[in-house]
């Protein structure tokens, strides 16, 4: 006997819907040879990432050294300019010769400062390019950036705020790493139960839709009474829509709007439902 959909509780319907989805990591089967090749590819990607990170760190060290040198030369220039000012005030008999000597030195130092600034900007551009390449490689490998826990904010409030700020800045991979660090550092914090939702949302915003569906599906299964369930519904639906799975997305959005009419995401859900109605992929 088939149970009518309307008789299922909202969270049970979400679980039912998610159980029908081909979530990554759950229903993929590969041959032994394919599995070995996949592991080899991932190992090679990690080696490439390590090499890229080492190269980037070397460039950052050189960049810092050049910056220190430029700052030292600027300070030397300031000293010479002050000496020139003092000469003007003193108006000594040999003013002309001393002033010309200092003026020549000032021009020489200005040239060196200009050279240092050009090299500084070149190194800055190269570092930015290398960082973008590393980000693309990490994204391709499905990895989030590694962070140094010692450099992370020291308190729970600061760490949580930093992770949320990174999401606002669209730095989603690093944000996910900070949320994981928060959960590891503060298992007893009330916000820790929301870290998996935050990670799933960051995946959705990062357009890593399969990862978002899998992560948020875990929340729906483990904590169907979570206060974040409206977000679970919405970002699962938006990820399904991103994969052009419009019927499933529409079902979850309608359930979310019905169950959580006061949700801050209701307007977004209504807008997404309207987008589904007109999107060519959904016809």
- Who contacts 70 (Cβ-Cβ below 8 Å, separation ≥6)? 113, 116, 117, 120
Position 65 scores a pLDDT of 73
Does the pLDDT at position 96 exceed 70? no
- Who contacts 215 (Cβ-Cβ below 8 Å, separation ≥6)? 196, 199, 200, 203
The length of the chain is 283
What topology is assigned to 149-282 in CATH?
1.25.40
Report the greatest alpha carbon distance in the chain: 112
Q: Is 195 helix (H, G, I), strand (E, B) or coil?
A: helix
Mean per-residue pLDDT, 5-11? 49
Q: Where are the domains of the chain?
A: 32-141, 149-282
Position 58 scores a pLDDT of 73
Residue of 276, 256, 269, 282 whose CA lies nearest to 10: 256
Side-chain half-sphere exposure of 14, counting CA atoms within 13 A = 31
Lowest average pLDDT, out of 150-154, 167-171, 261-265, goes to 150-154
Mean per-residue pLDDT, 126-155? 64
Q: pTM of the entire structure? A: 0.55
What does the pLDDT look like over 184-239, one tens digit per residue? Answer: 999 999 999 999 999 999 999 999 999 999 999 999 999 999 999 999 999 999 99
Mean pLDDT, the chain, as a whole number?
A: 76
Contact status, residue 123 vs residue 64, Cβ threshold 8 Å: no
């Amino acid at each position: 006997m088939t149970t009518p959909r309307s008789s299922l509780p909202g969270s049970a319907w979400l679980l039912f819907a998610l159980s029908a989805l081909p979530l990554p990591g759950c229903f993929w089967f590969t041959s032994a040879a394919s599995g070995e090749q996949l592991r080899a590819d991932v190992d090679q990607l990690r080696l490439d990432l390590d090499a890229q990170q080492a190269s980037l760190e070397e460039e950052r060290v050189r960049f810092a050294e050049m910056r220190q040198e430029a700052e030292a030369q600027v300070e030397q220039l300031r000293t010479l300019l002050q000496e020139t000012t003092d000469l003007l005030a003193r108006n000594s008999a040999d003013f002309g010769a001393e002033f010309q000597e200092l003026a020549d030195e000032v021009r020489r130092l200005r040239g060196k400062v200009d050279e240092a600034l050009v090299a500084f900007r070149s190194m800055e551009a190269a570092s930015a390019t290398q960082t973008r390449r590393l980000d693309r490689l990490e994204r391709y490998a499905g990895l989030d950036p590694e962070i140094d826990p010692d450099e992370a904010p020291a308190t729970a409030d600061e760490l949580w705020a930093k992770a949320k700020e990174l999401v606002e800045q669209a730095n989603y991979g690093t944000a996910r790493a900070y949320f994981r660090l928060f959960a590891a550092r503060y298992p007893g914090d009330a916000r820790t139960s929301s870290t998996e939702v935050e990670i799933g949302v960051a995946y959705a915003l990062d357009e890593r839709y399969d990862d978002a569906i899998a992560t948020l599906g875990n929340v729906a299964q483990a904590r169907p009474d979570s206060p974040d369930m409206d977000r679970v519904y919405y970002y699962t639906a938006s990820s399904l829509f991103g994969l052009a799975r419009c019927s499933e997305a529409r079902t979850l959005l309608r359930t979310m709007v019905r169950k959580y009419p006061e949700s801050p995401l209701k307007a977004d859900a209504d807008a997404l439902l309207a987008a589904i109605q007109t999107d060519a992929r959904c016809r």
